[in-house]
Amino acid sequence: MSIRLPRRIVVTGGAGFLGSHLCTRLIEAGHEVLCVDNFYTGTKANIAHLIGHPAFELLRHDITFPLYVEADEIYNLACPASPVHYQHDPVQTTKTCVHGSINMLGLAKRLDARILQASTSEVYGDPDMHPQREDYWGHVNPNGVRACYDEGKRCAETLFADYHRQYGLKVKIARIFNTYGPHMRPDDGRVVSNLAMQALAGEPLTVYGDGSQTRSFCYVDDLVDGLIRLMNSPDDFTGPVNLGNTHETTMLEIAEKIRSLAGTAPEIVHRPLPQDDPVRRCPDIGLAQRMLGWQPATSLEEGLARTLAYFRQRYFGPADRPASHVVTGLSHPVASQA
């Protein structure tokens, strides 16, 4: 695989969970990074360690409006990715997926820059193929509460594919499966962050349904490595390509692992499954293995331990601090098993 060394890289959504880790990796690799974020779900705390670095620049901007900058590569990660946030303003979520993609593709076309779209496993909906391969077209409810994200990302993929076919634009499409790690928001409604916050606070752990539904959790460092490999892959490989972990875990299993790693013993409580929540989700990553030489390297236990350490330090302070001093208002019921 040839490694390209562009002078300047734009990361939209760069102050978010994935984007902040990507910005850090790109800076460490010697690139110049322009982080673009409207801070709808991203936070300055995620990129505080990069502020002041001579190769890092931060721009507050909403990509539903045109952006006029110079770049050699663009990673388009801007979009709320958790059900709590993308369902809060579904019209804006769709606009970000569609108008945002049009604006960033237009920028890439003007600059003749490579552009990568952070798509999602949600394009598969509640799949009737398992594990999910890239040639599976999905099983999505176009009118459901998740459709703003599911269909928005599907439309974004269409735009990327058409810009490639019509204009010869160098595009990459990554379908990201469940990813976790430091910089996740504690109130994002995702299973790992919510269970981690509940366990560390000694609160009951919320599991939806009977807990037999599955997800496959990929640690953020592995995912970022996959994105960078995809961006640096040959021009004729556009994707889409699945990036995720193939180790399938039930919701009950993940709750038990987090409870054990947190060193607490809260009870597990069950609630009804949310609307259109997929029962099974697991990627086939054969294409990523063949074309990118990529597969996850971090075990679930190791990744969860690092994530819990982050949440403990960030929101609960020193380990010897009494539980009564925990920052309140951050542990919310799980809105989805995403």
Catalytic residues: 149
Residue keyed to tokens 């019921």: 333
Residue type at 303? G
Bridge pairing between strands 179-180 and 218-219: parallel
Task: Name 143's Cβ contacts closer than 8 Å, sequence gap at least 6.
Answer: none
Q: How far is CA 236 from CA 115, 163, 176, 233, in A?
A: 13, 14, 20, 8
d(CA 314, CA 332): 17
- Token pair of 288 as six digits: 């990523």
d(CA 139, CA 129): 9
What is the dihedral sign for C-alpha 182, 125, 88, 40? positive
Q: Specify which residues 239 forms β-bridges with.
A: none
d(CA 17, CA 338): 14
d(CA 7, CA 307): 32
Nearest to 303, CA basis, from 255, 261, 252, 250:
261
In 140-217 the beta strands, taken as DSSP E runs, fall at 171-176, 179-180, 205-208, 214-216
Peptide bond into 186 cis (omega under 30): no
